[in-house]
Amino acid sequence: MMMVSKEPKNKPLNKKAQLAKAKAKPSTKVLAQQKSRRRKLNTFLRMCRYGVNNFSRNAWLTVAATAVMTITLIIIFVAFASNKVLTDTISQLREQVDMSIYFNADTSEEDGEIIADRALQLESVQSARFITSEENREQFVQDNRDDQAVINATREATNKHPATLRVVVVDINDITELQKFVDEDEVVAEFIDPDREPSFAGERRSTIEGIGNAVGFAQTAGIGASILFIVISSLIIFNTIRMAIFNRREEIQMMKLIGAEKSFIRGPFLVEAMVYGFFAALFATGAGIAALYAVADPLSDFQIEVGQTLSLATQYMGFLLAAMILIGAFIGVISSLLATRRYLKL
């Protein structure tokens, strides 16, 4: 009688099959990590939802905090815009302020170019252009073309216009190097008109320095005002968050009793403060650009350059809005962190 052996039902897997099966089935560690990530995501979403709900729950706190944040961001916008306007106006003013050195009428264009090249070697000089006596005369006639008496007098005059070196300096407050150039340069001494002082000498120098000092003061005042209002806004947001904590103290106490994590209790307040900053940034950016449009023409009448600032603000409105949102969120988050740290005793 022939015996037939049956193969075992559970045939052992070879090493390759065992490895494939192990890869197909997630390990306990991987499952724990996935569960932890899902829990953190759910916690984050809950904090965001609670923070948005808190923003809309108490209307008067929301309006007060958003209004203060909006005013602060408007002040910051105005400070930066004013600084840009002042910088552009200074550049325009620097070119308009008459920094001229007068030379003898017979100074040739070649000699004038040599003098201009020597002036450009000065660190305080941005540009230098030599104008001959004849070019000065033609420009004078062009500037007074509507006054026939002046034109006739110019044609009949026997004296010649001086040649001129027009200089644009980097800082209108700093003309010491240029004055030293006029006093000590040998080539300048050979051709300079002894009867005419440079336009930046004497009383005109005091006027130029006064303009520069006023501009510097305005820039410093703008930066100082921005810092001041950031501090004030942070304090008010701080108190607003503190009041919100006080109003929800029972709810917070219950969350602490059931073992809620510190980050979960603090999170909604941070989100709420960021929402304040978001809406305040929208209002402040819109108000700031509208204000620029409103003052552009009136300020232009006083030779204040606003056009470039307005053009940049309009062209890069998206980046400007993003920057304002980040600033508002930063102020709100810092204020909220201070408030929760002190009053929640976390």
Q: What is the pLDDT of residues 224-264, one digit of tens each?
A: 776 777 777 677 767 776 776 777 677 777 777 777 777 77
User: Are 238 and 117 within one domain?
Assistant: no
What pLDDT does 283 receive? 92
- Whether 34 is covered by a domain: the verdict is no
| Other beta carbons within 10 Å of 40 | 11
- Tally the domains of the chain: 2
Residue 178: which of 131, 130, 120 has the closest Cα?
120
Residue bearing the bigger pLDDT, 70 or 171 = 70
258 SS3 class? coil
pLDDT at 2 exceeding the cut of 60? no
DSSP state of 192: B
pLDDT at 282 exceeding the cut of 80? yes
What pLDDT does 277 receive? 84
Residue bearing the bigger pLDDT, 112 or 94 = 112
Give percent of the chain with pLDDT exceeding 90.
3
User: Are 194 and 221 within one domain?
Assistant: no
- Whether 10 is covered by a domain: the verdict is no
- Whether 16 is covered by a domain: the verdict is no
**117 — pLDDT class (breaks 50, 70, 90):** very high
Query: Which residue type sits at 8?
Result: P
User: Are 159 and 268 within one domain?
Assistant: no
Last residue of a domain, one of 199, 218, 249: 199
Residue bearing the bigger pLDDT, 20 or 199 = 199
Mean pLDDT (the chain) is 75
Residues pairing with 166 in the sheet: 100, 129
Q: CB of 82 within 8 A of CB of 226? A: no
What average pLDDT does range 301-309 have in this prediction? 79
Residue bearing the bigger pLDDT, 151 or 277 = 277
What pLDDT does 37 receive? 76
User: Are 241 and 332 within one domain?
Assistant: yes
User: Are 135 and 232 within one domain?
Assistant: no
pLDDT at 21 exceeding the cut of 70? no
What pLDDT does 4 receive? 47
pLDDT (tens digit, 9 = 90+) per residue, 118-155?
999 998 888 889 998 888 777 777 766 666 665 665 56
- Whether 104 is covered by a domain: the verdict is yes
User: Are 161 and 291 within one domain?
Assistant: no
User: Are 269 and 227 within one domain?
Assistant: yes
Q: Which residues contact 291 (CB under 8 A, 6 or more apart)?
A: 78
Token code pair at residue 95: 């070119």
pLDDT (tens digit, 9 = 90+) per residue, 60-99?
777 877 888 888 888 888 878 877 887 777 767 666 666 7
**270 — pLDDT class (breaks 50, 70, 90):** confident
User: Are 287 and 319 within one domain?
Assistant: yes
Last residue of a domain, one of 146, 173, 199: 199
Give residue 191's Cα distance to chain centre. Answer: 46
Residue bearing the bigger pLDDT, 324 or 89 = 324
Q: Lowest mean pLDDT of 5-19, 97-111, 166-180, 213-227, name the range.
A: 5-19
Q: Which residues contact 303 (CB under 8 A, 6 or more apart)?
A: 89, 92, 93
- Whether 334 is covered by a domain: the verdict is yes
Please report, for the domain that includes residue 144, its CATH number: 3.30.70.3040
CA angle 241, 247, 249 (to 5 degrees): 95
186 burial class (0-12, 13-18, 19+ CB within 10 angstroms)? exposed
173 burial class (0-12, 13-18, 19+ CB within 10 angstroms)? middle
Q: Which residues contact 248 (CB under 8 A, 6 or more apart)?
A: 54
- Whether 281 is covered by a domain: the verdict is yes
| Torsion sign, CA atoms 157, 160, 166, 172 | negative
Long-range CB contact pairs, 18-27, < 8 A, 24+: none
How far apart are the C-alpha atoms of 205 and 199, rounded to whole Å? Answer: 8
How far apart are the C-alpha atoms of 74 and 71, rounded to whole Å? Answer: 5
- Whether 299 is covered by a domain: the verdict is yes
What average pLDDT does range 160-166 have in this prediction? 85
User: Are 163 and 64 within one domain?
Assistant: no
User: Are 175 and 223 within one domain?
Assistant: no
Backbone angles phi, psi at 48, to 5 degrees: -65, -45
Select, from the ranges 19-33, 111-125, 139-153, 173-187, the one with the highest average predicted confidence (pLDDT).
111-125
User: Are 236 and 173 within one domain?
Assistant: no
Last residue of a domain, one of 170, 199, 228: 199
User: Are 230 and 87 within one domain?
Assistant: yes
Please give the residue range of the domain that contains residue 174. Answer: 99-199
- Whether 143 is covered by a domain: the verdict is yes
DSSP state of 167: E
How far apart are the C-alpha atoms of 154 and 143, rounded to whole Å? Answer: 12
